[in-house]
């Protein structure tokens, strides 16, 4: 039994050639070629959300089983729904449903089997042409054909899952159960029908939660597919993975409308954390940005990699002839990482109270290094001995009422003894070296260190 397309001609073109050409035009020359078994992508009309969706799908790893986990916009039910259809049709052809796997899911998870809830639902149908374009292309260059030749004879089958009223743990458990032999598409738009600026604020907040894994901060109006998103975030938290931003914008950026817009974003699941990805792929970029920010008062970066638009905290350190010449940073993320680096580079050069402002002559000889900080974690300790056992090899913050100080992890190279390290940090905070009290607070963090060899 085939499910016929309902949204061809409205959400996407109904003519195969026009649809193929449109989706091909959305393909990006990805600077990050990472492939992932799970992505978050939007499902609105492809004329609006297609750029973000294609960018996400380009990171999706080919698999013979592809789950599409999407919200139900029109039908109310508990838990999840699965179809009895054998194929889902689009103008590009038919996509087979893995009915054997659906039967297995129905035996293990609370669900309903129903075609009816799928009949007028766009959140799955809109995703299918992207999969067909990437994994079963009608148009293919000779180079792409050679790259894909090993996949000849292989096909993918979909497992369409509509999410009803359920706890996100159900989605997380579903992903875990079939992770080994499947890939996963989490289908969701972001905020709906707010003024453009408010939409950007809400979506930035949503993106930060997705990227930091703070599940308790999610609220339903942030995204129509929130349960699916939370399920993937929970899976990422449980498996030491990160969600990396690929693209984010809203319908107003495409249409010019500002009154009622919809937000779109795409992310991919990575076994590397964000800072490792930046170090591996963008070290020279961030160092060049820091230097440009110092040398050009009105410098504005262009073509910013999306991973650097995630909120983050950094320190920028300047050295001249091997000697410290300025160091300013942020402990907590309060802005996109790229802006944090720019601000801290300028402040290290011109606002560090320990030094005179950097001169243009010095700029040519200056050595710049950047530390990108991980999240901050409180250290619980019984006494000073217990605290000393927990500080190495991390960056450490201590706080006592209005007195506070921080050392980056790299300081261990100069102060390798734990007691000397901690005593020096106390003195930096304005406390005596032998000071200790039950009200003293301590926090730890790690840092990714980026520098350019001289």
pLDDT at residue 142 greater than cutoff 60:
no
What is the CB-side half-sphere exposure of residue 313 using CA atoms within 13 A?
16
The secondary structure of 264-330 as a DSSP string is EEEEEEESS-HHHHHHHHHHHHHHHHHHHHHH-TT----S--GGGGSB-EEEEEEEETTEEEEEEE-
Describe the strand order of the beta sheet including 367-373 as a list of residue ranges. 323-329, 313-320, 367-373, 447-451
Rounded CA separation 26/52 (Å): 9
- Residue with the two structure tokens 């103008």: 91
pLDDT per position as a tens digit, 147-203: 554 554 478 999 999 999 999 999 999 999 999 999 999 999 999 999 999 999 999
Q: What value does the mean pLDDT take over residues 22-31? A: 88
> Looking at residue 221, what is its pLDDT?
81
> Looking at residue 220, what is its pLDDT?
75
Q: Which of 438, 440, 436, 431 is nearest to 398 (CA)?
A: 440
- 1-32 as b/e, with b when 16 or more CB fall inside 10 Å? eebebebbeebbbeebeebbebbeebeeeeeb
Q: What value does the mean pLDDT take over residues 352-357? A: 95
pTM of the model: 0.85
What is the CB-side half-sphere exposure of residue 115 using CA atoms within 13 A?
11
Q: Which of 404, 416, 410 is nearest to 371 (CA)?
A: 410
The phi, psi pair for 30, rounded to 5°, reads -70, 130
> Looking at residue 235, what is its pLDDT?
98
> Looking at residue 335, what is its pLDDT?
93
- Residue with the two structure tokens 């909120």: 311
pLDDT per position as a tens digit, 398-449: 999 999 999 999 999 999 999 999 999 999 999 999 999 999 999 999 999 9
Q: Are 98 and 157 in contact (CB under 8 A)?
A: yes
Q: Are 333 and 311 in contact (CB under 8 A)?
A: yes
- 369-398 as b/e, with b when 16 or more CB fall inside 10 Å? bbbbbbeeeebebeeeeebeeebeebbbbb
The phi, psi pair for 261, rounded to 5°, reads -120, 165
Q: What value does the mean pLDDT take over residues 218-247? A: 93
Q: How many CB atoms lie within 10 A of CB 265?
A: 28
pLDDT at residue 39 greater than cutoff 90:
yes
Q: Are 273 and 44 in contact (CB under 8 A)?
A: no
- Structural domains for the chain: 2-271 (3.40.830.10), 276-373 (3.30.700.20), 377-450 (3.30.1490.150)
Question: Residue 22 to residues 42, 60, 103, 162: CA-CA distances in angstroms?
Answer: 16, 19, 36, 27
Question: Quick one: CA dihedral 309, 314, 316, 317, positive or negative?
Answer: negative
Rounded CA separation 75/87 (Å): 21
> Looking at residue 297, what is its pLDDT?
86
> Looking at residue 151, what is its pLDDT?
52
Across the chain, mean pLDDT equals 93
Q: What value does the mean pLDDT take over residues 34-41? A: 95
Judged by DSSP in three states, 163 sits in strand
pLDDT per position as a tens digit, 91-139: 999 999 999 999 999 999 999 999 999 999 999 999 999 999 999 875 5
- Residue with the two structure tokens 């038919």: 94
Stretch among 163-172, 216-225, 265-274, 368-377 having the lowest mean pLDDT: 216-225
Chain centroid to Cα 255, Å, comes to 25
Question: Residue 156 to residues 96, 131, 152, 272, 330: CA-CA distances in angstroms?
Answer: 8, 9, 12, 26, 46
pLDDT at residue 234 greater than cutoff 50:
yes
Q: Which of 119, 19, 123 is nearest to 68 (CA)?
A: 123
> Looking at residue 138, what is its pLDDT?
56
Q: Which of 179, 187, 178, 153 is nearest to 101 (CA)?
A: 178
Angle between helices 168-178 and 99-108 (to 10 degrees): 130
> Looking at residue 303, what is its pLDDT?
85
Question: Residue 176 to residues 31, 170, 270, 374: CA-CA distances in angstroms?
Answer: 29, 10, 15, 26
Rounded CA separation 39/27 (Å): 16
DSSP state at residue 33: -
Instruction: Read off the pLDDT band of 140 (50, 70, 90).
Output: very low
């Amino acid at each position: 039994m085939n499910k016929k397309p309902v949204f061809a001609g409205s959400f996407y073109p109904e003519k195969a050639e026009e649809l193929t050409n449109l989706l091909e035009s959305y393909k990006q020359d990805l600077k990050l070629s990472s492939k992932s078994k799970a992505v978050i992508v939007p499902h609105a009309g492809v004329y609006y959300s297609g750029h973000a969706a294609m960018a996400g799908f380009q990171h999706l790893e080919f698999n013979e089983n592809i789950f599409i986990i999407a919200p139900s916009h029109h039908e109310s039910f508990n838990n999840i729904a699965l179809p009895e259809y054998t194929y889902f049709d689009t103008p590009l052809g038919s996509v087979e449903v893995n009915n054997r796997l659906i039967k297995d899911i129905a035996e293990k998870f609370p669900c309903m089997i129903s075609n009816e809830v799928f009949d007028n639902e766009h959140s799955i149908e809109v995703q299918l042409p992207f999969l067909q374009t990437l994994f079963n292309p009608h148009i293919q260059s000779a180079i792409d054909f050679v790259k894909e030749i090993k996949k000849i004879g292989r096909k993918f089958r979909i497992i369409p899952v509509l999410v009803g009223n359920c706890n996100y743990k159900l989605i997380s458990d579903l992903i875990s159960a079939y992770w080994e032999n499947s890939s996963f598409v989490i289908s969701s738009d972001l905020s709906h029908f707010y003024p453009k600026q408010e939409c950007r604020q809400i979506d930035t907040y949503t993106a930060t939660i997705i990227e930091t894994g703070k599940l308790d901060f999610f609220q339903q109006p942030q995204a129509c597919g929130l349960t699916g998103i939370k399920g993937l975030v929970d899976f990422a938290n449980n498996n030491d993975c990160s969600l990396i931003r690929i693209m984010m914008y809203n319908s107003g950026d495409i249409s010019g409308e500002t009154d009622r817009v919809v937000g779109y974003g795409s992310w991919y699941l990575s076994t590397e954390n964000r800072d490792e990805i930046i170090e591996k792929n963008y070290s020279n970029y961030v160092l060049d940005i820091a230097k440009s920010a110092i040398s050009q008062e009105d410098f504005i970066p262009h073509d910013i990699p999306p991973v650097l638009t995630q909120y983050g905290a950094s320190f920028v350190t300047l050295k001249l002839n091997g000697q410290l010449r300025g160091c300013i940073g942020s402990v907590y993320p309060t802005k996109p990482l790229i802006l944090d680096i720019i601000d801290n580079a300028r402040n290290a050069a011109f606002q560090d109270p320990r030094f005179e402002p950097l001169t243009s002559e010095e700029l040519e000889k200056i050595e710049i290094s950047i530390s990108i900080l991980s999240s901050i974690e409180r250290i619980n300790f019984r006494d000073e001995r217990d605290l000393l056992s927990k500080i190495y090899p991390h960056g450490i913050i201590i706080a006592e009422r209005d007195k506070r100080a921080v050392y980056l992890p790299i300081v261990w190279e100069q102060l390798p003894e734990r007691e000397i390290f901690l005593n020096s940090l106390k003195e930096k905070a304005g406390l005596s070296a032998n000071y200790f009290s039950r009200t003293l607070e301590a926090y730890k963090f790690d840092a990714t260190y980026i520098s350019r060899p001289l």
